Amino acid sequence: MTAIPQERRLVTAVPGPKSQELQARRTAAVAGGVGSVLPVFAARAGGGILEDVDGNRLIDFGSGIAVTSVGASAEAVVRRASAQLADFTHTCFMVTPYEGYVEVCERLAELTPGDHAKKSALFNSGAEAVENAVKIARSYTKRQAVVVFDHGYHGRTNLTMALTSKNMPYKNGFGPFAPEIYRVPVAYGYRWPTGPENCGPEASAQVIDQISKQIGADNVAAIIIEPLLGEGGFIEPAKGFLPALAKFAKDNGIVFVADEIQSGFCRTGQWFACEDEGVVPDLITTAKGIAGGLPLAAVTGRAEIMDAAHAGGLGGTYGGNPVACAAALGAIETMRELDLVAKARRIETVMKGRLSALREKYDLIGDVRGRGAMIAIELVKDRETKEPAPEATAALAKACHAAGLLVLTCGTYGNVLRFLPPLVIGEDLLNEGLDIIEQALATV
Ligand SMILES: *Cc1c(COP(=O)(O)O)cnc(C)c1O
């Protein structure tokens, strides 16, 4: 499927001399506020491999943050996007529309949970989709308050910074933030004081009490939650939490928004993570995996809610760009043809099997969690106190990078090593990546 040999290969140190040269140019020309996990400059990528300018081939356990689920050069994405590129690059959908945009919205209506009438609007980035979900929910409910969660991440624009939980690096010094945002606890089983088995019911009761007493349910436009929290540490809300909140929202006329920007499009072994407990959100935000690497995002939801905003109230110059739409149709075609839902489940089986065995061996691994190809280990200094181990996490990531495995960290406490391989990764590469993690664990 891809021209790049699906083999890890190290021909220089990581980063190599060409990457270091480019890094020097970058430091002079690119704003310091833009970071990089690993200063290795990409030359090409596909399947489970990222090749750098020095000719090193790294195993990719990051997918450009859960974006290239179909690989970074999937045949159908390249074919469809190239054809569209040759036809026209842009008209602006708000000036003269084109079929690709409509077709993406039709696919979204089919693929997202629930058999009610659905509509979509397309945007450029995840943050923009979340902002628009808030606009739509406020317009529909004529209310203002928005409820979000501890450890939640929703983007870097002003409104989405306010929705995001973590100060560093996302918010520090960038205020003032948008008003009418309220944060409540999330059902984080591993760290719930009375244990994971009590977490779902206790956390949902606490959240509902807090919303009722502190905000007033009648003032709440939207509850926004990631059905499997991404940047905050790959936290799966304990069972029962999401259904209880969805019911509370329904009973109180609140728009329930699932932010599936990271967890959507087959990533968790289902098309969308909220399907796991049969939750049907009123609105769902998507981006990342939707278009095989091209910038595209969407808000999809109940037709009557999506139609609440006045004509001209939603949009943007580039939203639903025709090349990005063509890429999305190619990505969706690939997900269906290669049954990437099943592939993600297989990745979970392999990863969880091996990581759970490592947890038996190393006390450093406090928790192994996640679903599909969205798996993480949370590292702690002490299994009793669960004191986070961010230094060991950084050291582990560094050792993996040096050995040619691209991994990412996350978590409010910086102590979660997360794995987001492309869903098309071969099982041999997947196991080789896990071998590298195992060897790295032995050294830290
Ligand atoms: C990445 C992410 C966003 C922001 O998306 P951008 O495209 O970076 O703006 C929002 N929500 C979640 C859950 C994300 O993972």
Q: Same structural domain for residues 101 and 198?
A: yes
Q: Same structural domain for residues 26 and 131?
A: no
Task: Measure the CA–CA gap between 69 and 420, rounded to whole angstroms.
Answer: 8
Does residue 308 carry a pLDDT above 70?
yes
Q: What is the dihedral of CA 350, 423, 4, 437, to 10 degrees?
A: -40
Centre of ligand 1 from the C-alpha of residue 335, in Å = 21
Does residue 208 carry a pLDDT above 80?
yes
Query: How confident is the model over 391-432, as pLDDT tens digits?
Result: 999 999 999 999 999 999 999 999 999 999 999 999 999 999
Average pLDDT over residues 163-173: 97
Inside any domain, residue 10: no
Q: Where are the beta strands (DSSP E) in 53-144?
A: 57-60, 118-123
Mutual orientation of helices 340-361 and 427-443 as an angle, nearest 10°?
A: 20
Q: Tell me if residue 412 falls in helix, strand or coil.
A: coil
Helices (H), 30-87: 63-66, 75-87
Q: Same structural domain for residues 316 and 386?
A: no
Give, using CA atoms, the residue closest to atom 6 of ligand 1: 126
Task: Measure the CA–CA gap between 187 and 168, rounded to whole angstroms.
Answer: 22
Q: Same structural domain for residues 233 and 374?
A: no
What is the reported pLDDT for 282? Answer: 98
Residues facing residue 225 across a β-bridge: 258
Inside any domain, residue 48: yes
Best of 154, 163, 374 for a ligand 1 pocket test (most atoms within 8 Å of beta carbon): 154
Query: How confident is the model over 122-154, as pLDDT tens digits?
Result: 999 999 999 999 999 999 999 999 999 999 999
What is the reported pLDDT for 1? Answer: 46
Centre of ligand 1 from the C-alpha of residue 129, in Å = 9
Task: Measure the CA–CA gap between 116 and 300, rounded to whole angstroms.
Answer: 12
What is the reported pLDDT for 405? Answer: 98
Total domains present in the chain: 2
Inside any domain, residue 3: no
Q: Same structural domain for residues 330 and 344?
A: no
Q: Which CATH number belongs to the domain containing residue 185 in this structure?
A: 3.40.640.10
Confirm if 78 and 32 have CB atoms less than 8 A apart.
no
Task: Measure the CA–CA gap between 356 and 365, rounded to whole angstroms.
Answer: 9
pTM: 0.98
Q: Same structural domain for residues 259 and 269?
A: yes
Query: How confident is the model over 27-54, as pLDDT tens digits?
Result: 999 999 999 999 999 999 999 999 999 9
Q: Same structural domain for residues 57 and 91?
A: no
Q: Domain containing 430: what range?
A: 17-73+339-443
Inside any domain, residue 9: no
Q: How many helices (H) and strands (E) does the chain have?
A: 13, 15
What is the reported pLDDT for 35? Answer: 93
Q: Same structural domain for residues 215 and 315?
A: yes
Q: Same structural domain for residues 125 and 229?
A: yes
Average pLDDT over residues 306-320: 97
Confirm if 399 and 383 have CB atoms less than 8 A apart.
no
Q: Which CATH number belongs to the domain containing residue 370 in this structure?
A: 3.90.1150.10
What is the reported pLDDT for 362? Answer: 97
What is the reported pLDDT for 310? Answer: 96
Given 321, 337, 353, the domain boundary residue is 337
Inside any domain, residue 96: yes
Best of 146, 153, 229 for a ligand 1 pocket test (most atoms within 8 Å of beta carbon): 153
Inside any domain, residue 237: yes
Task: Measure the CA–CA gap between 390 and 362, rounded to whole angstroms.
Answer: 16
Given 279, 302, 337, the domain boundary residue is 337
Does residue 2 carry a pLDDT above 80?
no
**Ligand 1: which residues within 6 Å by Cβ?**
125-127, 130, 153-155, 226, 230-231, 259, 261-262, 287-288
The single-letter code of the amino acid at 400 is: C
What value does the mean pLDDT of the chain take?
97
Angstrom CA distances, 134 to 117, 246, 262, 299, stand at 20, 17, 18, 10
Above pLDDT 70, what percent of the chain?
Answer: 100
Given 307, 322, 337, the domain boundary residue is 337
Query: How confident is the model over 347-397, as pLDDT tens digits?
Result: 999 999 999 999 999 999 999 999 999 999 999 999 999 999 999 999 999
Look at the block and give the residue holding tokens 């993406």.
Answer: 104
Does residue 57 carry a pLDDT above 50?
yes
Q: Same structural domain for residues 313 and 350?
A: no
Inside any domain, residue 160: yes
Where does the pLDDT of residue 3 fall: very low under 50, low under 70, confident under 90, or very high at 90 and above?
confident
Average pLDDT over residues 311-337: 98
Q: Which of 230, 232, 257, 210 is nearest to 165 (CA)?
A: 232
Centre of ligand 1 from the C-alpha of residue 435, in Å = 30
